[in-house]
Amino acid sequence: MSFVQSAPRLAHPYRDDRVLNAWLAHTLPSARLEAMRPDLDALADYALMAWDRRCRTPRTEPVLTQWDAWGSRVDRIALTPAWEEGPDITTRHAVLAAGHAGSPWARVEEFARVYLYHVASEFYCCPLAMTDGAATALHASGNRALIERALPHFLSRDPATFWLSGQWMTETPGGSDVGRTETVARQDAEGQWRLYGRKWFSSAVVGEAALALARPEGAGNGTATLALFYVETKDETGAWRGVTIDRLKKKLGTHELPTAEIHLDGLPATPVGPLDHGVRQIAPMLNVTRTWNAVCAVASMARAIALARDYATRRSAFGARLIDQPLHARTLADMQAEYEGAFSLTFHVAELLGRVEHGEHATHEAALLRLLTPLAKLWTAKVSIRVVSEALECFGGAGYIEDTGLPQLLRDAQVYAIWEGTTNVLSLDMLRALSAGLAPLRQAVDELVPDDGTPARHTVVAALDAAEALLGEVAADRASLEASARGIAFTLARTMAAALLLRSARWGAATGDLRPAAASRRFLARGLDRLALPDNEDDSLLAGDGAAAM
C-alpha cells in the first residue's frame, strides 16, 4: 500500500483555545464563567461532531419548492441538517438569550457562544445575528407592544416558541445606498399598513419575522423619509402572508444559507416608531449584526488555523514535519498573530457593547464603541479572508479539494467583507463616528498601554499621531477625506488591536505564558500604519480609463 496522508484533526474548540480561555478568564467574574462553561463545552462538542459529519457526508443545500403537486403556491424551503438543529442548539445553550441577560457581561457571554457555534452552524448564525439585532433595535425603540410581542420569541429558551427575524433592507437600486429603497408602505381601508415591493437579498427568508425599511406612500425621496416596520411573515396555518419567494440566490459561498429574492404584496406591517428616519431606527440592529460579523470572521480564522496547525504536525516533506520547517512555522506564527489581534479587537467591542447597554461604561466608552464597531467589522473581514486563504495554502493541493472541507472556509469568509456594509461603506461610517474626534481612542490606548517609554508604546502612539495628522490634512476636502478613509480605518483598527495585545502580553507574563507577548511583538513588527496613500489625481488616472491616458 502506498503512503496515505492522515487528515487534520480538530482540537477541542473551547478547551484547547488558549486565546478564548485567557480572554474570558480576565474579563468575566469567575462565578459567571463557571456558570457558562457547560454551554461552551456543549457548543464546542457540537462543533467537533459537525466537523466530523461534514467530513463524512456529502454536503446538502437548501431547496426551494414553489408549487406543490396540486398546483398550490407553497414556497417551501427544505433546510440542511445543521439548520434543522439550529433552533434546538440556539435555545438550549441560550446563544441569543445570554446576550440580553441584563448584565454588563452579557454580550461577552453571548459572543463566546457565537464564536464556538458559528462554523458548525453553517451560517445559521446569520439569521441569529439579525434576530439579535432586531431584538436590540426593538428594545431601543421603546415600542412596548412590539417588545412584548416579539422579544419572548427572539430570546426564547424553548425551540417550540423560538422565532428568527430577517433584516430586509437590500433592494436592486440600494445595496449600500439604502436611501434608494423602492418598497412602499400603504395603509388599507382599515388603517393596516401593508408593504409592496421587492427585496433583493433576504438572507434569512425562513424567519418568522423581519424588520423592513419601506417608504410610506407619498413620502419624498432619500434616507430620512424611510420608515421602519416590523412584520410577521406567516399566518397561523404557516402560509406566507403577502410574501412570494422568487428564487434562492446562487452564491460564491454560504451555500447552506437560504438567501432569497422575494416579492412583498400586501404584507401586514407595524411601524416600529415614527414614520420617518427608519435608518436611524434600524442602526442599533446594524451595529449588532456588524459585531456578529466580526465574531464570525474571527471564528472562521480560528477554525482554519486550528486545522492548519494540526496538519503541520502530521504532514512531512523533504524529511521533516511541516511544523519543524522554519518558513512554515513562521507562516503559521504570522497567521496566529493577526488572528489574536482580530480576536482582541472584536471581543473588546463585545465587552464595550455590554457595558454601554447597561450604563456601566466610562464617559468616553460610548463614542469608543461607536468608532470601534465599524473598525472591527471591516478589518476582521479582510484579515479573515487573508488568513483563511493562507491556511488553505498550508495544505498544498489538498486545500483546494472540496471534500477536505477546506475550500468552503475560504468561500464563506469572502462574505464577511460584503455583509452588513462593504469595507468602503464601513470606512465611511467610521468618518461619521470620528466626528467625535480621536480622543476616545487615545484615552483607551493610554489606559491599555501606559506611558512607560517602551518602543511598543512609541509605535502605538506614532500610528495614532500619523492618522490624526492625515485626518487634519484632508479634513477640509471631502473627496480627499473619503479617499483616505480606508487607510485611516485599517490604521486605527490595527492600533487598537496592538494596544489590546500588549495588555494580553502582560496577562500572559503574570502566569508565565510567553505566547501572548510573542503575538504582540509579531503583530507590531508587521506595522500599524496603513496610511500611505497616493493623491486623488492618481486615483482618477488609474481607476478610470487608463488606456486612453497612455
Site for ligand MFK, rule CB under 6 A:
123, 125-126, 129-130, 167, 169-170, 176, 178-179, 203, 223, 277, 279-280, 283, 286-287, 289, 292-293, 296, 419-421, 425, 429, 432
171 vs 338 by CB, closer to ligand MFK: 171
E strand or H helix at 532, and its extent?
none
Check if the beta carbon of residue 324 is closer than 8 Å to that of residue 269. Answer: no
CA–CA dist 280, 519 (Å, integer) = 39
165 vs 331 by CB, closer to ligand MFK: 165
Alpha-carbon torsion angle 37, 42, 45, 49, nearest 10:
-170
- For residue 294, the minimal CB distance to ligand MFK (Å) is 9
Q: Quickly count: other Cβ atoms within 10 Å of residue 454's Cβ.
A: 12
Q: Under DSSP, is residue 123 helix (H, G, I), strand (E, B) or coil?
A: coil
CA–CA dist 438, 422 (Å, integer) = 23
177 vs 465 by CB, closer to ligand MFK: 177
33 vs 211 by CB, closer to ligand MFK: 211
Q: Under DSSP, is residue 151 helix (H, G, I), strand (E, B) or coil?
A: helix
- For residue 194, the minimal CB distance to ligand MFK (Å) is 22
CA–CA dist 282, 213 (Å, integer) = 8
- For residue 336, the minimal CB distance to ligand MFK (Å) is 22
233 vs 287 by CB, closer to ligand MFK: 287
CA–CA dist 370, 367 (Å, integer) = 5
- For residue 355, the minimal CB distance to ligand MFK (Å) is 17
CA–CA dist 378, 431 (Å, integer) = 13
99 vs 516 by CB, closer to ligand MFK: 99
CA–CA dist 52, 413 (Å, integer) = 20
CA–CA dist 489, 371 (Å, integer) = 10
- For residue 84, the minimal CB distance to ligand MFK (Å) is 18
CA–CA dist 536, 532 (Å, integer) = 13
Return the beta strands (E) in 112-174 as ranges. 165-168
CA–CA dist 261, 194 (Å, integer) = 19
- For residue 472, the minimal CB distance to ligand MFK (Å) is 23
- For residue 374, the minimal CB distance to ligand MFK (Å) is 6
E strand or H helix at 304, and its extent?
helix 278-314
- For residue 434, the minimal CB distance to ligand MFK (Å) is 12
Q: Under DSSP, is residue 232 helix (H, G, I), strand (E, B) or coil?
A: strand
159 vs 179 by CB, closer to ligand MFK: 179
- For residue 258, the minimal CB distance to ligand MFK (Å) is 13
368 vs 466 by CB, closer to ligand MFK: 368
17 vs 122 by CB, closer to ligand MFK: 122
